[in-house]
């Protein structure tokens, strides 16, 4: 398979890169000085694209690669891939579901605890050397808080299971109600927001869920509400969120994703009621290895004409 051309969209994992290099003819897209001339000269050699949450295969790239057979994403999210175009052209698409579910859910709970119990702020305070006796600051209890989940897929369910161990009542919004699920369903995000203390975004990013957290939802959450986003930055109307946080119209936020990564609105840097993470939802050694193995496994299966491991299209 060393002659098969694989285009790696951006740097994502050195183990993955190493494995791709060993097995295929690897092209590192970000090292190319002129992308369009590179594509023009290599269009007949590239049969696979490996993307992730930051960069994938949009319509333009797909059109430029007539020999493209498969797009393997190093993520579970598919928002950077033009699925319609892939379907049209018979291009296979794979992602990395299940292996990262637990890490993302763990991080969601970690963010809830960090925001409510002010863990990062406490750490900053102690490191400043300013801790003195008699400095009492109360934080917000997490146990028993109402958790509302947008999107009750694998990740949403894993978050619910963990939050239940903290006696948190669970409610959710999803496109359709799930009658077999015992959690309370709300038919709109605004209603869900109005009835929970902590709102978590755990759904895929699509045209419909773009800016699903908007001014109306933020208003419904209120000055004690806390937003946790482990989905995609564009799920949230970021300027609205920033002004709500700065003006204390919203109680707090734990954010792993942003509309324009790696750029994070600087107005958030001085706030003590937010926790800001650089898109580390699946960022553990164990999980990234499992994700890389899935990408390699899917590519090998495809080129060996075997069934794909985790096909989407």
Helix axes 119-127, 101-116, angle to 10 degrees: 60
Short-list 142, 138, 121, 164, CA closest to 228: 142
For residue 148, which phi and psi values (nearest 5 degrees)? -110, 130
Short-list 83, 46, 80, CA closest to 64: 46
d(CA 80, CA 12): 15
Is residue 179 near other proteins by the rule CB under 8 A? no
Short-list 215, 272, 199, CA closest to 249: 215
Tell me whether the omega of the peptide bond preceding residue 302 falls within 30 degrees of 0, making it cis.
no
d(CA 235, CA 214): 9
Which range touches other proteins (CB under 8 A), out of 124-132, 148-156, 181-189, 297-305? 124-132
Q: How far is the CB of 14 from other proteins (least distance, A)?
A: 10
Q: Which member of 92, 279, 288, 302 is catalytic?
A: 279
Query: Which position among 3, 33, 90, 138 is part of the footprint of other proteins (CB under 8 A)?
Result: 138
Q: How far is the CB of 12 from other proteins (least distance, A)?
A: 8
Is residue 136 near other proteins by the rule CB under 8 A? yes
Which range touches other proteins (CB under 8 A), out of 62-70, 86-94, 118-126, 296-304? 118-126
Instruction: Look up residue 154 and give its DSSP letter.
Output: H
Is residue 16 near other proteins by the rule CB under 8 A? no
d(CA 142, CA 111): 11
For residue 213, which phi and psi values (nearest 5 degrees)? -100, 105
| Residue 102 is among the residues annotated as catalytic for this protein | no
Query: Which position among 162, 232, 235, 302 is part of the footprint of other proteins (CB under 8 A)?
Result: 162
Residues of this chain, 226-265, that bind other proteins according to CB under 8 A: 261-264
Which range touches other proteins (CB under 8 A), out of 25-33, 100-108, 214-222, 292-300? 100-108
Residues of this chain, 267-286, that bind other proteins according to CB under 8 A: 269, 275-278, 280, 283-286
| Residue 279 is among the residues annotated as catalytic for this protein | yes
CA 71 centroid distance within chain? 18
Q: Which member of 216, 259, 261, 300 is catalytic?
A: 261
Q: How far is the CB of 196 from other proteins (least distance, A)?
A: 17
d(CA 217, CA 207): 18
d(CA 236, CA 69): 33
Query: Which position among 18, 36, 139, 188 is part of the footprint of other proteins (CB under 8 A)?
Result: 139
Nearer to other proteins, 48 or 111 (CB): 111
Query: Which position among 32, 64, 83, 120 is part of the footprint of other proteins (CB under 8 A)?
Result: 120
For residue 51, which phi and psi values (nearest 5 degrees)? -120, -175
Residues acting as catalytic residues:
232, 261, 279
Q: What are the residues binding other proteins (CB under 8 A)?
A: 11, 102-103, 106-107, 109-111, 113-114, 117, 119-120, 122-127, 129, 131-144, 161-162, 164-167, 261-264, 266, 269, 275-278, 280, 283-288
């Amino acid at each position: 398979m060393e002659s098969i051309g694989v285009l790696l969209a951006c740097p994502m994992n050195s183990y993955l890169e190493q494995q791709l290099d060993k097995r295929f003819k690897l092209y590192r897209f970000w090292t190319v000085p002129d992308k369009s001339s590179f594509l023009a000269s290599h269009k007949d050699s590239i049969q696979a694209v490996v993307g992730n949450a930051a960069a994938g295969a949009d319509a333009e790239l797909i059109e430029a690669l007539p020999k493209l057979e498969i797009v393997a994403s190093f993520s579970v999210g598919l928002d950077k891939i033009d699925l319609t175009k892939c379907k049209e052209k018979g291009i296979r698409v794979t992602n990395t579901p299940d292996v990262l579910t637990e890490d993302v859910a763990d991080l969601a709970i970690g963010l809830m605890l960090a925001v409510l119990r002010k863990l990062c702020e406490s750490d900053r305070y102690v490191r400043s050397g300013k801790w003195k006796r008699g400095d009492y600051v109360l934080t917000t209890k997490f146990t028993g808080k109402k958790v509302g989940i947008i999107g009750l897929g694998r990740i949403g369910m894993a978050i619910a299971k963990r939050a239940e161990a903290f006696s948190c009542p669970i409610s959710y919004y999803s496109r359709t109600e799930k009658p077999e699920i015992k959690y309370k369903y709300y038919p709109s995000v605004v209603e869900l927001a109005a009835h929970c203390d902590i709102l978590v975004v755990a759904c895929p990013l699509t045209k419909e869920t773009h800016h699903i957290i908007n001014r109306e939802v933020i208003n419904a959450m209120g000055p004690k509400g806390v937003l946790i986003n482990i989905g995609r930055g564009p799920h949230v109307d970021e300027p609205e969120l920033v002004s709500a946080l700065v003006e204390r119209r919203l109680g707090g936020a734990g954010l792993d994703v942003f509309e324009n990564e790696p750029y994070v609105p600087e107005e958030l840097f001085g706030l003590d009621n937010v926790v800001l993470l650089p898109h580390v939802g699946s960022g553990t050694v164990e999980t990234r290895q499992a994700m890389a193995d899935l990408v390699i496994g899917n590519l090998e299966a495809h080129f060996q004409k075997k069934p794909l491991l985790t096909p989407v299209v």
